[in-house]
Amino acid sequence: MPHAKRKADSASPEPLKRSRHEDAHQESLGKKRHIIIIVCLMTDLVLTAHHFQKYLASSYTFEVVEKNHGVGGTWLENTYPGCACDVPSDIYQYSFAPTKDWSTLYASSGEIQGYLSRVAKQFDLQKHIEFGTSVDRCTWHEDTHKWLVDTSSGGVLRTGRKADVLINAAGILNHYQYPDIPGLQDFKGVMMHTANWDHSVDLTGKKVGVIGAGASAIQNYFNTFFPVFIKDSSSQHNRRKELTASMSKCIKDEALRAKLIPKYEVGCRRLSPGEPFLKALQQPNVECIFDPIASCTSEGLQTQAGVKDIDVLIAATGFNTTFRPRFSLVGRDGVDMRDLWNNDPASYMGLGCAGFPNYLSMLGPNCPVANGSLIGEWCTSKIYPGYDWLMFNRES
């Protein structure tokens, strides 16, 4: 069967256009590429550095910039009483550095920090880390296809550190935030955040006010099955009855019980009706206040019921978990990621972002996507895809 002839007036397909960013910039294929890793998420750092050192040493060199003065990241910074892992310790460890030495099912922050320090020392990772150094600005230069990174340490500014690849592993659990309460700065007593705990403060005999009732105020983990989270399922109704009965049994005061037992369905918020927490709320030296805080005075907190005088104010109000970088990150065409991600952050697999070449992030938008230990999730969704990308692009 003969082919139909193209009409004389039919338009020929246009040739593919080259990207305006694609130029003739080339480097030797044998030259090692350099990576700068920005860190506070220390569990991620140790995992990343170990894989780089083991699998990518022939193609890449790397250095790590860490604002703290030691290994541990969020586990070094968060030392408030009761701070612990929210998954069993046996799965919150590296496959290449297993240990059976956990003292309890949910290891404390200090114990986890000690484990991370031992692993970093065991695999000689600290030689790659520059401690006590903060990142001020990162800028992509199209003419050289490199990132220029400005850092500061001890008041000394260092500009123009060059990197072929920039990895932001700063995480989202290191930038703690105080509540937006009028007059908070007027409080005359001791004020601290759980994520920046002051161990020099003696709370004995003090009137202590705690703002918040989230993870850092409770530190309890609860696990259940997936059907519980399906709307109107029998599993959900049964689980709600069980939890309601359990909380009712634990909470003796009817007025307090009415305030504490949730009205929403199981799974709409993170479960936290831990028995030790509920018992603590009923101690004679504890008063639960459910009225909104109107303002803060020099003496305490102002609510509808009046002013509560306190000596020490503790904010258990979590972190700023927006995905915007904590520093200026300027990609192509002068676009700052802090502006781009101000309202609606978007990325590819939580790993890369259009307009920011050779930039990878850990815990980017829509991450994490797994329950349980984050270490396994990082391996499958971040480290291994990032490793594959680096191997594929090592000659580009």
Q: For 315-369, what is each residue's pLDDT tens digit?
A: 998 888 888 898 999 999 999 999 999 988 988 888 889 999 999 887 788 776 5
Asked, for residue 63, whether it belongs to a domain, the answer is yes
Q: Do residues 160 and 96 touch, judged by C-beta distance below 8 A?
A: no
Supply the pLDDT for residue 220. 29
Q: Which of 267, 301, 328 is the last residue of a domain?
A: 267
Asked, for residue 27, whether it belongs to a domain, the answer is no
Q: Is 145 left (phi over 0), alpha (psi -120 to 50) or beta?
A: left
Please indicate, yes or no, whether residues 295 and 239 belong to a single structural domain of this protein: no
Q: Do residues 164 and 146 touch, judged by C-beta distance below 8 A?
A: yes
Domain that holds residue 327: 33-175+320-392
Asked, for residue 116, whether it belongs to a domain, the answer is yes
Helices (H), 30-87: 42-55, 74-77
CA 51 to chain CA centroid, nearest Å: 21
Please indicate, yes or no, whether residues 205 and 312 belong to a single structural domain of this protein: yes
Supply the pLDDT for residue 225. 42
Beta bridge partners of residue 141, listed in sequence order: 146
Residue 139 host element (H or E):
strand 134-141
Give the pLDDT band (50/70/90) at residue 219: very low
Supply the pLDDT for residue 40. 60
Please indicate, yes or no, whether residues 190 and 295 belong to a single structural domain of this protein: yes
Supply the pLDDT for residue 1. 45
The mean per-residue pLDDT over the stretch 246-272 comes to 80
Supply the pLDDT for residue 338. 95
Please indicate, yes or no, whether residues 91 and 158 belong to a single structural domain of this protein: yes
Supply the pLDDT for residue 15. 55
Closest CA to 216 of 259, 173, 172: 173
46: exposed, middle or buried (Cβ count in 10 Å: 0-12, 13-18, 19+): buried
Running DSSP on this structure, what letter comes out for residue 349? T
Strand runs labelled E in the chain: 33-39, 60-66, 129-130, 134-141, 146-153, 156-163, 165-169, 190-193, 208-211, 295-296, 300-303, 306-309, 312-315, 328-330, 359-361
Give the pLDDT band (50/70/90) at residue 164: very high
The residue assigned the tokens 């003696």 is 202
Supply the pLDDT for residue 20. 58
Please indicate, yes or no, whether residues 43 and 124 belong to a single structural domain of this protein: yes
Please indicate, yes or no, whether residues 81 and 109 belong to a single structural domain of this protein: yes
Asked, for residue 230, whether it belongs to a domain, the answer is yes
Q: Which of 286, 318, 350 is the last residue of a domain?
A: 318
The mean per-residue pLDDT over the stretch 200-206 comes to 94
User: Is residue 367 helix, strand or coil?
Assistant: coil
What is the reported pTM? 0.73
Asked, for residue 96, whether it belongs to a domain, the answer is yes
Supply the pLDDT for residue 7. 47
Give the pLDDT band (50/70/90) at residue 374: low
Q: Which of 318, 345, 377 is the last residue of a domain?
A: 318
Supply the pLDDT for residue 238. 84
Please indicate, yes or no, whether residues 207 and 246 belong to a single structural domain of this protein: no
Please indicate, yes or no, whether residues 348 and 261 belong to a single structural domain of this protein: no
Give the separation between CA 257 and CA 243, rounded to whole angstroms. 12
Q: How many domains does the chain have?
A: 3
Give the separation between CA 393 and CA 388, rounded to whole angstroms. 9
Q: By mean pLDDT, which of 25-29, 55-59, 212-216, 330-334 is the weakest?
A: 25-29
Supply the pLDDT for residue 4. 46
Q: For 106-133, what is each residue's pLDDT tens digit?
A: 999 999 999 999 998 998 888 889 999 9
Asked, for residue 4, whether it belongs to a domain, the answer is no
Supply the pLDDT for residue 221. 28
Give the separation between CA 286 and CA 305, rounded to whole angstroms. 16
Q: For 33-71, what is each residue's pLDDT tens digit?
A: 888 777 665 566 677 777 777 777 777 888 889 999 988
Give the separation between CA 205 and CA 311, rounded to whole angstroms. 10
Please indicate, yes or no, whether residues 144 and 39 belong to a single structural domain of this protein: yes
- Whether the per-residue pLDDT at 174 is higher than 80: the answer is no
Supply the pLDDT for residue 300. 93
Please indicate, yes or no, whether residues 197 and 297 belong to a single structural domain of this protein: yes
- Whether the per-residue pLDDT at 376 is higher than 50: the answer is yes
Residue burial 64-75, b: 16+ Cβ < 10 Å; e: rest = bbbbbebbbbbb
- Whether the per-residue pLDDT at 217 is higher than 60: the answer is no
Please indicate, yes or no, whether residues 196 and 307 belong to a single structural domain of this protein: yes
Asked, for residue 16, whether it belongs to a domain, the answer is no
Asked, for residue 19, whether it belongs to a domain, the answer is no
Q: By mean pLDDT, which of 270-279, 354-363, 376-385 is the weakest?
A: 376-385
Kindly report the CATH number assigned to the domain that includes residue 204. 3.50.50.60
**Cis geometry, peptide bond prior to residue 2 (ω within 30 degrees of 0):** no
Average pLDDT, the chain: 80
Please indicate, yes or no, whether residues 214 and 290 belong to a single structural domain of this protein: yes
Q: What is the dihedral of CA 343, 348, 354, 358, to 10 degrees?
A: 120
Give the pLDDT band (50/70/90) at residue 305: confident
Which amino acid appears at position 4 of this protein?
A
The mean per-residue pLDDT over the stretch 252-259 comes to 90
Q: By mean pLDDT, which of 76-80, 215-219, 269-273, 332-336 is the weakest?
A: 215-219
- Residue that wins the pLDDT comparison between 114 and 239: 114
Running DSSP on this structure, what letter comes out for residue 27? -
Which amino acid appears at position 259 of this protein?
K
